[in-house]
Amino acid sequence: MTRSLSLRSLRLLLRVDTLVVIRPALLSLSLCLVTSGATAQPAPAGGKPPPKAPPAVPGKLPSTLPSTLPSTLPSTLPSTLPSRLPSRLPTDVGAARLPAQLAPSTAPAAPTRREITVDYVWFTGEPGTGAIKGGTSPVLVRIDKNDAPGASVNVLDEFAGSAGPQWRATAWLAALTAVHESSTPLLQHEWTVRAGGVVDGPSAGLLTAASFLALLRGDQVLPDVTITGAINPDGTVGPVSGIPQKIEAAAAAGKKRFGYPVGARQAEDAKTGKLVDVEKLARALGMEAVELRTLRDASRLLTGKDPGAPTLASDDDVRISPEQMEAAQVRVDMWRASAEAGYGRIQPTLSSLSDEARASLSWLYTPIFAEVNAAQVYERGGQLVAAEHKWSEVTIATGAAEDELRILAAAGEGRLEEAFQVLAPYLELEAQAGQLLDELEMSFATANGTVSAVNAVLAAETIVDSLALVATGKAGLDAAVAMVTQLEADAAAGRIEASQQKVQQFVVLLLRTAPVLARAETMLAAARLELAFEGTVDGGGAAFEGARLSELARGYASAASASRAYFQGLVGLTDDSAASFAFVEPQWATASAGAALAATWAGKTTPVAQLFAVASGAHAVLAAAALLNKYEALGFKDGAYPRRAALSAQITAAREAALAALAKMKAFLGKVPERVIAEFHHAEELREGPDPDKLLALSSYRRASFAAVLTVELGLGRSAR
């Protein structure tokens, strides 16, 4: 990629007649950071006018914390990254030796074909129009012995298009959660669902998972029961729409018991838009409506068999050790110092601005103060895992703000090449990520059991995040270079109005890319910290099976691809809009890049490549699930969550699921590893925060559950079944 804009383009763009229209265009976009001071004052997001006299920018980050900032820490990153690193993506991860105690696979033989038929409930029509229709469709659910080398999850149509693409991905997630609950290898079975009518969307997920689980256990299903609800990767239940219409359809089909998602007792009637008590509605129709929190609850309702309450990990099982608390405090100090240094670099510029200019830039610095306040609250409360996260967010915000201010200053004077060069150094991040993968590969080559493998997976996930963000940022820089060619042509032809519009787009593109690359840089620093603190994290654990790792790699790679396609289809992202969406939603970048990396690594034969495939695939699945929950289940739009009432119930269910998974992990290993405990505490400390923190807590509970499930899966977990 060309890193420098041509001098010819700059000479053309810097002609006096061109600058006459370029400068006002930049000002109209709040690009007001010029030496003479700006006067434009557009309203920030939300339509509220800026304050007439914004408060003076403080000389340093406000802090009532008594700790002294280390003087020897780097200014932007908490560790120094090598300046010259090998640049390679995982096209050749190298040959790493397996731990000496790898055992051959001894998984029990899969049963012969088993199948059942259940009735799915659905509704169609445009909500609020009155033209709403509910119904049921018979669906055949089947498992067979799988003799093929790869995972096989099939969705069959009774007629063309009767099973939509979203439901195909739901079937993958249902199979994964069923095998997690039963500790059964995914590749041991071929999984099939055959739609007998129109079926699509996430609401089929829970009943599909419960049906798969019944088949694995050899249980019969009750014919007078049906269920609606999304299934999450940790086995918890997610909200769905149209519950009143589905209850009416179930009653018309002769059902007597109806399962619905936790937190959805007050559900919106798709016809009227009014809230309906679904349990009262069911009773009026001669049915019982049962609230479901987990796949275990759904299995109990569908089969009539009570598996009993799950065993939960105790407080002592998930207590952070004093050594890990000390390590967490060191990391908090490092990130806080980095945040202080970053703010120190932008504060003089902000203070030098006029009130009007500073008000128009409130979008840039206001988030910094919000994150600082949150970090201080968590740190004062002794919640060091959450404080570490928040101080790293301040580092990201100050780093992005520093770059954005430099871009604005250069663009405001027409120095577009200089504006572009602000971000050019980030092109080295890909090489740095490759070097970290090399280090992780060397660490795994000497792994001595399942705990070391799971630690490596969790570290690899952080690197996957970085690679995803780097790819997104590079796409932004590529687009900026392409835009320069258009600017040259417009300026040469005297198309001043077209130049004005493209310059606006060019600068906005750089501003949009800056936070993405700042986050990528900080995520790489976090990954390096994880590797640096590897010596304080326990390893060991039981031997894991080489064939098992290969199975998991292929299974998670397939599930990642399906999950990514699931979300893209559900929200209607085209290829172009999907690329743009990655700039505003890092989880989408993770889901996309994670799925691609998982497919690349799963095709290789070395154990470390397959371990990276598991990390990338699982991380993509979790990211896609988080997006589905945020945008579909909770209805996120314009910064608000219209269906947020379900969020607290989701967190409670996810916490219980995590404790149940960690109990299995302890039964298998004799302990819960420190790194997994830290992930659980990240959720514990964030769960009472504002909505964005609650969503992070939800993801961390699920990540802890995944780590526990993976540990048992790697060793087949026969003692924990």
Q: 8-34 burial, b for 16+ CB within 10 Å, e for fewer?
A: ebbebbeeeebeeebbebbbebbbbbb
Which residue carries 């498992």 as its tokens? 143
Alpha-carbon distance values, 375 to 53, 156, 380, 629 (Å): 27, 50, 9, 26
Distance from chain centroid for Cα 607: 25
User: For helices 295-303 and 205-217, what crossing angle results, to 10°?
Assistant: 70
Identify the band that residue 158 occupies on the pLDDT scale cut at 50, 70 and 90. Answer: low
Q: Are 212 and 227 in contact (CB under 8 A)?
A: no
- Phi and psi at residue 634, in whole multiples of 5°? -95, -10
CA distance 94 to 45: 48
- Phi and psi at residue 290, in whole multiples of 5°? -120, 125
More confident residue, 539 or 291: 291
3-class SS of residue 442: helix
Is the predicted pLDDT of residue 81 greater than 60, yes or no?
no
CA distance 671 to 39: 62
Share of the chain above pLDDT 70, in %: 77
Q: What is the pLDDT of residue 498?
A: 63
Q: Are 387 and 375 in contact (CB under 8 A)?
A: yes
Is the predicted pLDDT of residue 519 greater than 70, yes or no?
yes
Q: Are 590 and 621 in contact (CB under 8 A)?
A: no
CA distance 65 to 488: 53
Is the predicted pLDDT of residue 35 greater than 50, yes or no?
no
> What is the token pair recorded at 651?
């967190």
Q: What is the pLDDT of residue 18?
A: 34
Is the predicted pLDDT of residue 374 greater than 70, yes or no?
yes
> What is the token pair recorded at 338?
């980095």
Q: What is the pLDDT of residue 227?
A: 97
Q: What is the pLDDT of residue 157?
A: 67
> What is the token pair recorded at 269?
């009637």
Q: What is the pLDDT of residue 255?
A: 97
Nearest to 678 by CA among 259, 443, 387: 387
> What is the token pair recorded at 428?
């080295």
Mean pLDDT over the full length of the chain: 78
Backbone dihedral region of 687: left (phi > 0), alpha (psi from -120 to 50 degrees) or beta? alpha
Describe the chain by its helix, strand, coil percentages, rounded to 5: 60, 10, 30
Is the predicted pLDDT of residue 404 greater than 80, yes or no?
yes
Return the C-alpha torsion angle 159, 160, 166, 167, nearest 10: 20
- Phi and psi at residue 500, in whole multiples of 5°? -55, -45
Is the predicted pLDDT of residue 413 greater than 50, yes or no?
yes
Q: Are 339 and 400 in contact (CB under 8 A)?
A: no
Nearest to 426 by CA among 401, 408, 400: 400
Residue range 610-662, pLDDT digits in tens: 888 888 888 898 998 889 888 877 888 888 888 787 888 889 999 999 999 99
Half-sphere exposure of 237 (CA within 13 A, CB side): 29
Residue 108: DSSP 8-state: P
Identify the band that residue 448 occupies on the pLDDT scale cut at 50, 70 and 90. Answer: low
Q: What is the pLDDT of residue 499?
A: 73
User: For helices 496-532 and 384-412, what crossing angle results, to 10°?
Assistant: 150
pLDDT, average across residues 64-77: 30
Q: How many residues comprise the chain?
A: 721
Which residues fall within 8 angstroms of residue 83, CB to CB, at 6 or more apart?
none
Instruction: Identify the weakest region by mean pLDDT among 40-49, 201-210, 426-435, 628-637.
Output: 40-49
Residue range 561-612, pLDDT digits in tens: 878 887 887 788 888 888 888 888 889 999 998 899 888 888 888 877 888 8
CA distance 658 to 150: 29
Strands 230-231 and 237-238: antiparallel
Share of the chain above pLDDT 90, in %: 31
Is the predicted pLDDT of residue 22 greater than 70, yes or no?
no
Q: What is the pLDDT of residue 63?
A: 40
Identify the band that residue 51 occupies on the pLDDT scale cut at 50, 70 and 90. Answer: very low
Residue 194's H or E segment, with its range, is: strand 189-195
Residue range 465-484, pLDDT digits in tens: 888 888 899 899 889 888 88
pLDDT, average across residues 343-349: 91
Nearest to 221 by CA among 114, 339, 369, 84: 114
Q: What is the pLDDT of residue 526?
A: 86
With 0.85 as the threshold, say if the pTM is over it.
Answer: no
Q: Are 557 and 617 in contact (CB under 8 A)?
A: yes
Q: Are 237 and 231 in contact (CB under 8 A)?
A: yes
Instruction: Identify the weakest region by mean pLDDT among 117-126, 246-255, 396-405, 659-668.
Output: 117-126
Q: What is the DSSP string of 213-254?
A: HHHHHT----TTEEE--EE-TTSBEE--S-HHHHHHHHHHTT
Is the predicted pLDDT of residue 422 greater than 60, yes or no?
yes
Q: Are 379 and 328 in contact (CB under 8 A)?
A: no
Identify the band that residue 38 occupies on the pLDDT scale cut at 50, 70 and 90. Answer: very low
Identify the band that residue 33 occupies on the pLDDT scale cut at 50, 70 and 90. Answer: very low
Is the predicted pLDDT of residue 259 greater than 60, yes or no?
yes
Residue 261's H or E segment, with its range, is: strand 257-261
Residue range 209-229, pLDDT digits in tens: 999 999 999 999 999 999 999
Is the predicted pLDDT of residue 326 greater than 80, yes or no?
yes
Nearest to 622 by CA among 564, 691, 545, 535: 564
Nearest to 116 by CA among 182, 258, 250, 215: 215
Instruction: Identify the weakest region by mean pLDDT among 289-303, 319-333, 492-506, 582-596.
Output: 492-506
Is the predicted pLDDT of residue 293 greater than 50, yes or no?
yes
pLDDT, average across residues 439-452: 69
- Phi and psi at residue 448, in whole multiples of 5°? -120, 25
Q: Are 232 and 623 in contact (CB under 8 A)?
A: no
Is the predicted pLDDT of residue 698 greater than 90, yes or no?
yes
Q: What is the pLDDT of residue 234?
A: 87
> What is the token pair recorded at 31?
């690009």
CA distance 467 to 452: 23
Q: What is the pLDDT of residue 579?
A: 84
CB count in 10 Å sphere of residue 493: 11
